[in-house]
Structure formats: structure tokens, C-alpha cells
Amino acid sequence: MITIDGAEGEGGGQVVRNALALSLATGQPFRITNIRGGREKPGLMRQHLTAVEAACAIADATCDGAAVGASEITFHPGTVRAGDYHFAVGTAGSTSLVLQTVLMPLVMAGAPSRLVLEGGTHNMQAPPFDFIDRCFLPVLNRLGPRVTARLIRHGFYPRGGGRVEIEIAPAPLSPVDCLDRGAPLSVSATALIAGLPFDIVTREIETARRFLDWPEEAFATHELPADRGPGNVLLLEAAFERGTEIVTGFGKIGTSAQSLAKTAAQRMAGFIGSAAFAGPYLADQLLLPFALAGGGAFTTVKPSRHSLTAADVIARFTGQRWTFAAQDDGTHLARRI
């Protein structure tokens, strides 16, 4: 049986989620030990457990040892069944992370599925809905399937309570090359706020404008009903002919509006200045579908620890080796060797 040391590499929840998705997609059982071994609170946390339960639900799979705080689980996948599923994630958990676990197995199932996900939609340490919808899914759809996402309700930390609906029309996956993002099409900066003083978004927009040489009409504020809050994010979006990047700044207590806007804007400026197709977060997400398609390639910025760890887990389940080779133009080429 495939045995994974959960503390190796990036050593977080992503190892668990990728292993679950790969196990369901390839039909191989696995055991993971030392789950989140290097973290302050090691073991499975609630949101990871929800991901495990979701993986069990879509495939009649069994998981031994699944409990909050567990350092080791053994997972036996069953047959993935397309269908209507509803998963709800607790306080710190993001709907995107549950989606990351079940999406690829359902994409490879024989029939359409519909997912309703409840929880956070714009949480720290997870891709926000906008990123899934406009950065990740368009690339995935180029591999063959047709996956659409709808945001019904925003959900911010700590309250959660957001709702996302996903429609999945599966298709066989074919390898695609995403090397050149093409010419810039449009840019936008949106500051979302709910239940907090409005001057926060004003300051975020002002700061972002100082660091990004974008036209005035690109900047907008969007106030959500107060009862959705408290919550605040700054979404910076750059669309190119063949791909889109979104950089997010998450408002939180103790971080000033100016500083989060400055960090986000500098990261966006850095991406625009490079020639890469995928930013660091998109690169993480793309490895799994590309590997399941069996090939293809994309360019990205310097690979993150998340990406390198994902490549290791993929190798354990598929035998494929994915590498990031530095290119002359400063980008890195991710491809199977």
C-alpha cells in the first residue's frame, strides 16, 4: 500500500487532500502517517476531516482512524459515483479546499455531478471563489470537461456561511500546453467589504493605485449586506488572452488596509512583470489535473514548496515525475519527464 509521511515537504493539509483526490481518481488505497506532523497543532483538524468525509461520501470509501487530532489514517477508495452532493465546512474551512479534494474524481466519473458547498468562500490560506472561477476552472475546462461555478453567498472567516454551487460535466482529459499567457486584455481591482467601516476599502483602493499603474475605472469597491460580515478582501485581477491571474489580500484584525493592499499590489506587479502563464497558487492547483491528463506543460514563476510537495505525492500514485525547469526568460517550465 502507498504510505505517505505527512510531515515531509510542505507537510500540511494539502498533502492529505491531494492524496485523497489521487486515491479516488486512481483507485489505489493509501496510508498517511505523521499527518501535519510539523504543525503547531498536529493531526487532522476539523476542515481536513470534512474533506476526508467528503471523499468517503462520493465513492463509498472507507477510512480507518479518521478523527480530529488523528495522526494517521488508512483510506480505501470505492467507486466514484457522480451525483448531487452537499458538503458544509466549519469555521476556518474553505469550500475551495473541499472542492480540491472531490473535483478531479468527479470530473473523471462517468456522469455529470452537482456540488453544493457551504462554508468560507473568501478565507485566508485558501483560494477565494473568484480565483477558482476565473483562474483555475477555465484552464481545467481546456483539458476537456465543462465545470462551472456560481457564488450564491459570500462566506468570510470566522463566520463562514457562504455558498457555492458547482456543475460538473465530465469528459476524458487530454494534455494541454499552457506556455504563453498571451497579450493583456484587462485589469481590475475590487475591494469587497461587509459589516465593517467603509473607509477600510477606500484606503485599500488608494494604496493599490499607488503601486499599480492601472486606469482609474479599473478600481471599484463593493459593499455586501452587513449581515454577511464582518469580512474584507482586495481582489486584484489581470486577464490575458489565454489565462487570468488573481492576487488576493485578506483583511484581518491587526493588519492595516494599507499594508495588505501594498503586499497584494506588489505581488500582482511582480506577476505582470514576469512572462509566466501561472502564478504560484495556480501552479499548485494545475499539477493534479495535468498529471491525471497524463501530460502537458505550463510555465510558472518560481515553484513553491506546495507545488514541489504536490509533485511528490503525484509521483507516488501515478509514477509520473513532474519537474520545474528554470527557463531563460526567468519563468519555470512545469512538465512531465
Partner 1 sequence: MKPLTVIGFLGSTLDASKFGPSRWNKWRPTVGLAMHDDLRVDRLILLHGKAHDRLAAYVTEDVRAVSPETSVDLRRLDFKDPWDFEEVYGTLLDFARGQAFDPEAEDYLIHITTGTHVMQICLFLLTEARDLPGRLLQTQPSRGEIRPAGSYSIIDLDLSRYDSIATRFAAASAESASFLKSGIETRNGAFNRMIDEIERVALRSRAPVLLMGPTGAGKSQLARRIHELKRLKHQVAGSFIEVNCATLKGDNAMSALFGHRKGAFTGAVSDRPGLLRAADRGMLFLDEIGELGLDEQAMILRAIEDKRFLPVGSDREAASDFQLIAGTNRDLGEAVSAGAFREDLYARLNLWTFRLPGLAARREDIEPNLDYELDRFAEREGDRVSFNKEARQRYLAFATAPDASWPGNFRDLAASITRMATLAPRGRIDTETVDVEIARLRRLWSGQARADEAGAGDLLSEFLTADALAAIDRFDRVQLADVIRVCRASRTLSDAGRTLFNASRTRRSTANDADRLRKYLARFGLEWRAVAG
Q: How far apart are CA 326 and CA 316, in angstroms?
A: 24
Cα–Cα distances in angstroms (integers) from residue 283 to residues 21, 152, 314, in the given order: 17, 27, 14
> Is the separation of the CB atoms in 168 and 144 below 8 Å?
no
Binding mask 261-290 for partner 1 (x = CB under 8 A): ------------------------------
Does 116 sit near partner 1 (CB under 8 A)?
no
Q: How far apart are CA 252 and CA 79, in angstroms?
A: 41
Binding mask 153-182 for partner 1 (x = CB under 8 A): -----xxxx---------------------
Does 220 sit near partner 1 (CB under 8 A)?
no
Which one of residues 57, 116, 196, 297 is an interface residue with partner 1 (CB under 8 A)? 196
DSSP per position, 176-228:
-EE----SEEEEEEEEEEESS-THHHHHHHHHHHHH----GGGEEEEEEPGGG
Q: Is the peptide bond before 158 cis (omega within 30 degrees of 0)?
A: yes
Which one of residues 90, 112, 138, 175 is an interface residue with partner 1 (CB under 8 A)? 90
Q: How far apart are CA 62 and CA 45, in angstroms?
A: 18
Q: How far apart are CA 106 and CA 112, in angstroms?
A: 8
Residue 145 is placed in which grid cell? 470537461
Q: Give the binding range for partner 1 (CB under 8 A) out of 125-133, 198-206, 224-232, 294-302.
A: 224-232
Does 103 sit near partner 1 (CB under 8 A)?
no
Q: Give the binding range for partner 1 (CB under 8 A) out of 168-176, 188-196, 236-244, 307-315.
A: 188-196
Q: How far apart are CA 160 and CA 172, in angstroms?
A: 34
* Residue 332: active-site member: no
Does 242 sit near partner 1 (CB under 8 A)?
no
Q: Give the binding range for partner 1 (CB under 8 A) out of 84-92, 271-279, 298-306, 325-333.
A: 84-92
Choose the catalytic residue: 48, 76, 154, 306. Answer: 306
- Closest approach, Cβ 126 to partner 1, in A, equals 14
- Closest approach, Cβ 119 to partner 1, in A, equals 7
Amino acid at 191: A
- Closest approach, Cβ 322 to partner 1, in A, equals 31
Residue 233 is placed in which grid cell? 478582501
Q: Which residues sit at the interface with partner 1, rule CB under 8 A?
A: 41, 43, 45-47, 49-50, 66-70, 88-92, 118-119, 158-161, 194-196, 226-230, 253-254
Active site residues: 306
